[in-house]
Structure 1
């Protein structure tokens, strides 16, 4: 059975002057089943990276106060609906709707809400976790997704320079080992240049190492088989320089790429990209 739930995205907006915000949680209620719960961001790295000049204790403080407020509401609603196996009464439904509307009303504060939304689900608790993973943890933003964004940026730059027509996806290697590259310039069916977007802005050094070394290994293997041209370019994004472990991993991967005679530039260095693609 599907139940109608209301939910709202929790936003942290420390500077009203700029309007910049970060999604930091989800609040969800299902009056029909007597369900009310919330989930808030526990890691502060995203906040400190996005609002670099902010004293992170400010975020911790307002989040703690907000969490305590939501806990009080949750306790009140749990008491009003002690048996979630029974259908909610009209009175309890009205209470759930009233308190949810009061929580998410527009306010001038660092913690605010996006417009409330309605969603159908057969399990409100699972749906809360699913919404949190999507809107806060950005579960969709895998390394493949990030590299698609970089590839789109690079392709647009090549298109504006009237060079995109020279590049197309191609598989390099043989039947025993081969790798697909999104941007390859060929002449007489032989690869002349390769451009590969690479996402290395992970906030976990192990993830960065794993993905970076994966591509170092691919390059080594292809070079040993003489399947790569001399002109290979990786366009990369990089981790926050303040993340010492991640940046050390990034620097190590860059050194290995250069040892393989791979040119590496920032994904937004359009001048170097066009120079490489045009030569």
Structure 2
């Protein structure tokens, strides 16, 4: 039986101008109350931030990132012993102990939650998704979720379907997922691009387990929904075995779901068109 850990997380934002509200994600903090464990990962470079905000005080920025990383390390070391943490039962409390809520340039995003079998790996995955995803790529480009959707949108345009999608948040009492590309005909149909064009086979199972955990967490939602996973395989042939194992994990998702490899995107578009036509014809 898979042992999932429930956790909370928040994204650290650098708000360059509090009047305009423009920001760049610069860190992630993850907290598991049951394990009495908290950890953070902050940027150790500033190139991405200074590219967006050229007049960034890079020296001060680096010092703040290093300071916050250290503070959360201290918090984790004392979480089980210090009296000040004895009554902590939420990430929100811990965040404001380290960085109080004010109008400074560093702000916390709203708290989100999830499930994972490996909290350390989850922190890295969250950092990659929310913070370093838009960093300048080195070596060769790898396909991202944005790349998958951009190409699939072109396929949808051929079916005159590209404008028929909207964001949909599927939620339960203690968790939620917002799907960016959804439509409703009786139930919600949610398309989620997932890229496995990764460089390290160790990340394949982590990413698959993450989606298994997230979708398992919302399976009791009052919204009836089905998920279509549009999956991009790895470029390197030697990573195919790891990818096959990841697909096997995704097939264990306990909600209505279908998995399409990216080269079958046309088939998925046809399926969507058929479902939409059936829904439209039911009203005539």
For normalisation by structure 1, the TM-score amounts to: 0.44
Larger Rg: 1
